[in-house]
Every structure is written in C-alpha cells, then in structure tokens.
Chains A and B, each alone.
Chain A
Amino acid sequence: MTAFVGERAVSRYIKHPAASTTGILSNGWPIDSGTVITTLENNTHHLQHESLRPLVWSSGSGNTPIFNSAAQMFAGLPEFTVAPPGATFGTHRAIPWDRKTSARFPVFLIADQNIDTGEATLRWITMTMRLTVAANVTSGRAHFALTFSSAPPFQNEPFLHSSAAVTSNALNTVSVTLQPDTPIDLQSMGTITKCRHASTNGTSAQAVVLLGHLWFGWSLGGASVVAASRIESFAAWEVWA
C-alpha cells in the first residue's frame, strides 16, 4: 500500500445507505467505532486512494521531420544559429522543444503527505507516447519532462526529465513514470490564482496552486527526410509511488 493514503480496513468502497435515509445516524443513537471505521474512515481513505487523475489525452501532431544533425534540428529557431553547446544526446538539452520536437500540456499538480515521514511530494506521473518511425531512421529518442514554467526545458532546468530509446522502425509506444521524490512546499512554490469569481458583488477569492507543465519530446535522426514518421497520440495520468 502506498504511504500517501490513509489506512483502509478493506481495499474497496463499502456501500452504505444514502445519507438522506431516515433512521441512520439518528440523534440519540450510539455511534459505534465500526461505523466510524468502515463507513467514514475507510471510505474517505479509499476515495483518496482512487483520486488519481487522468492528465493528458491527445491526438498526436502527425508527421514529424527526421534530422540528420543537431544543427539541423535547431536551425530556423531565432534563439539559435547553430546547435547550442550542451545539446547532449539523451539529456533535456538534446532537443529544442519546439513544435517540431515536442508538445506541452499544463496541469495543476497535487502533492500528498507521506504518512510515515510527514513530507509532501508530488504524485508520480506516467507519460506515454505512441509514434511510428520510418525505416530510414537510425536513432530515435522520446523525452518526457515536468517543468514549473511554460518555458521549454532547454531554457529552464526541468524539475524532472527522463528519456527512452525508440527502438523499432515501426510503431512504438514509449512510457516512462516521472517519480518526484523531493519534498516540496506547495504553498511556497505555488502561485496565487483566482478560484472564485462573484460578478454580483464584485468579490473574488484566490487559491495557491502549482501549475506544472508536462512535456512530450522526440528526436528522430537519419540520413534523409521522409514523411512516414509521425506522432500518433499522447497520454498521461497519476500513479502512486
């Protein structure tokens, strides 16, 4: 069992009558520990266990170019006239993270508290990308990153980055799980944002949220450019550590 969820009596939700049912939990009746443990504690904790969220469901960007060099990959971008130093294979600086090589999706991040240590860490996130790779691609790599800024991971050191080889000159489904384990304080790292808007009296309220950015990146290297390589779909979802 994950250390981020309250203890459960059973690994399921225990069915109960509707709260509006007359005669349950009535005034003057004893509230026994069995009711408290099963209906209230267990079910609250089980709902917490099942509160993991889908984060990304997207069709892919379609045809994607093949680059014969890092210089070609970075060419045309106003920030670079040549491949920048540090464009190291497999690192977050290996690709420019432009639209030809990446897609970005924002999410409000959640940190859970470890019941043993008391520290809060971000939920783990599994990211998967489906891509078809042409026969003349000689090197392929999929990149996955989490940043706290919308600036590309090349410009900003990502909070997390992982990459995996794309091994097949055919259909590939590449998955990684980003595993944040650094304790964070969401209140100090987050930003203030609107959370209510009351147009009738002009009042509003604000919440502190941590807006994260999930990046899917890719690089396909080969001798010539053909149109048969394509990015077909993306998905991401939360998982327990």
Chain B
Amino acid sequence: MSALVPDKPDPSILSRVRVGAPVSAHHGRHWANNLAFLLGRNTHVVCNQIFGGNPAFPLGVFKTAVAYRPQPFVKLLYVEVEMGLAASSGGTSSLSITASSGTIHYVGDEPIFDESFAVASSNIEQQNHAIISGFIDVRDLSTGTTIDLIVEVKDVAAKPPDSGIYRLSILEVPLADCAPIEAPTTEIGVDPSWPQSSPPRQLVAGATNHGKGFVRVLHQIDLARSGVRRWRQFSTSEKTSVVAGEAPRWIMASTTPGAEISWGHGGIVEFRGRARHLYTVGGTKQPEPCKIKIRHNGTMNSTLRAVVTPVGGSSVNTDVALNSTGGSWVSVEADLDIPNTGTDQEYTVTFRGWNASAGDHYVSQIAIYTNEA
C-alpha cells in the first residue's frame, strides 16, 4: 500500500495557496490526506436500529432486509447483533447475512454470519446482553446498484427456542491505507508524494485512472461529492402475521389519505437529522438529492408519504406509489429531496400511508440515501 488514510482531516487556510508561490509537495500531501480521509475514513452507518418488542417465545425465522449500495472504497462492513431475550436458558440461533444480488465473503476462521455458527440468545434480563459482532466482505458486490442485505435468524434444531434479534447495527469500516499508484482503478486516493516526486515539482495532468496528477485530484474530489451515501433507514421483520411480543409489523390499514402508519408500538416514529448542502443556485440552497427505498407487501395499491420538514420551515410531502405485489415482498424506489434550509440544516421526517381499498398493506423497510448525480 502506498498511502496512509489519515484518521483526521487536514485543515488549512486559503492563504497557503498564494498567488506566485509554487505548487509543492505540501499541496499534494494536503489533497491526498483530505481525499483519503473523506473517502476512506469518514465512513457511514448503514443501519443502527432496534426492532422493538422483546420476544420470549419460539420465534422460528426472523428476516429483515437492509438497503445498501456498495461503494468501491468500502471493503468490509462491521455487523453487530444484540440477541433477543429467550423464554428459557439455552435458546440458540443461527445468523445469516446474504446479498440480494452478488456474493458476500464471510470473514474469519469461524464465520458467524454464514448460518453455520450457533449463537446463544440472551436468557436473562440483565444489563449485558448477548452480542455477536463480526465482519462481512463486500468488495465483490457490484457498485452502482442498490441491493438488500438479507439478515435471517433461525432456530437451531434440538436446542431451546431462540428469540430473534433485538438490535442490528451495520457500519462501514474505515480503511487504514490505500493504493492509488498500484491499483488506481479500484483504490481511492492520490499519490501523497506528488507533485514532489520525480522529477521534482513536475506538474502533470495525469488521468482519472492514474494515481497522481491534477485530473486524479479532481476525479477523487468528484468521487467524494457523488459517491458517498448517507444512510437513514430502519426496517422490521418481513412477516404479515406476528404474535404478541415479536418485532412488530408495520401496517398501512386505512383508506383515508394522510393516515398514520401503525408501527406496532402504538406511537409515531419521527426522525431528525442534518441535511447535506452542496450547491447554492441564485442564492437558494439546493436540497440534498436522495432516493427513498421501500420494501412492501400488499394486494392493493397504496401510497406511502414521506413528510420532510426543515426545522423552522414548511413541510414537503413526497408520495410514493406502492402497487399491489400479489403477496410477495417487493422494493420500490423514488426520488426524494431533503431540504437543508432549516436551522443548522436540520430537518424532521415522518411517514404516512393509506390504501386504495380495504385491507392491510405491509411495509418492512424505509431507507433514504444520498443520490448525488
């Protein structure tokens, strides 16, 4: 590997790029450090969620789907699972994580996410719960397409019943180093020794698929602008019938436009966050362009509404058509803008849903992710 990925960015002031001063190795290192940080260190949370309920019963199979868009600069995902509370001591599960498209490599001599590993459930109410953590290798998943990471928990035969999972966290793992010279098409970064490297102070244009040069710097800046995805998502069990205490179903059961979705816990979910701001056109901040991805299952046509409100501003509705799926789980995606005009660029999001005809339409995943052109 030819370049370290720094654990912090390299701040500077503009006076260091003075008119009349030569471009030097210092400039090259500055760009290389900051771009390696932005792409290789400032990695994102894919999901961080609990499922609600506290199952204490024979669960059978728990299955949920987490949206993800593989990136060339993310090699591993860190997965942490907090097991549910089993009804009796010895509850045992097997865990599996697969991709809806492409192949995940399991990491370690005893991979814990390939369904072969027996995982003990939490079996007593306590502060320290059974937690399983490990890595999955996503480097061979196709980039540029949004997929689902399918997480399944199953009972292990001949063992007391399991209890499913209570929390699921998936984090992109930061890189320690990168290889822009050796593998410029698959690796991030810019040769940190350029432009001081041979011959000294040679300023070259380079190319997007070369590890050095101004074109490479510009290419990596553009990758940091458009390739980084910020995930805001949560999901639940893909079941259309559950028993008391199980991770709840999300149900759209009303034919009244604007009706609340039943989240299974009697309340209303509302999220808050900070929107990214890149462009200002004519004095107006342009919103963060995103996609909203929904997994659903229903036999009637329905509408899911995302209500996004900049803090201190007016809400904007985005309606997504959920057509009948004939009883299977299907994903649908639509464009959604998150305004960054709120106080401190903050916003709130809530969701509503209703059906064209009587019945229940189920939702198992709502994911909003950055989709910069």
Contact = CB atoms under 8 A, between A and B. Distances in A.
Given A152-B127, A187-B7, A194-B107, A63 B266 contact: yes
B214 A31 contact: yes
A190 B41 CA distance: 14
Interface stretch (B13-21, B148-156, B294-302, B313-321): B13-21
B352 interface: no
A40 B217 contact: yes
Given A50-B276, A78-B126, A60 B344 contact: no
A186 B124 CA distance: 35
Interface string A100-126: 100111111011111100001000001
Interface in A115-157: 115, 120, 126, 128, 130, 132, 150-152, 154-155
Interface string B247-274: 0100000000000000111111111111
Interface stretch (A86-94, A159-167, A195-203): A195-203
Interface residues of B, number: 102
18 contacts: A6-B10, A13-B278, A15-B279, A19-B208, A25-B214, A27-B205, A37-B14, A47-B225, A48-B37, A54-B232, A98-B127, A113-B8, A155-B127, A173-B270, A195-B176, A205-B175, A232-B268, A237-B273
A205 B225 CA distance: 26
A120 B233 CA distance: 30
A33 B75 contact: no
A132 B175 CA distance: 41
Nearest to A16: B218
Interface residues of A, number: 104
Contact of B344 (A4, A234, A239): A239
Contacts of B263: 59, 232
Given A6-B13, A115-B12, A58 B49 contact: yes
A108 B7 CA distance: 11
A47 B339 CA distance: 17
Interface of B: 1, 5, 7-14, 17-20, 23, 27, 31, 34-35, 37-38, 41-45, 47-54, 75-76, 78, 80, 82, 85, 105, 107, 124-129, 131, 135, 137, 139, 166-167, 169, 171, 173-177, 203-205, 208, 213-219, 221-222, 224-225, 228, 230-234, 236, 248, 263-274, 276-280, 344
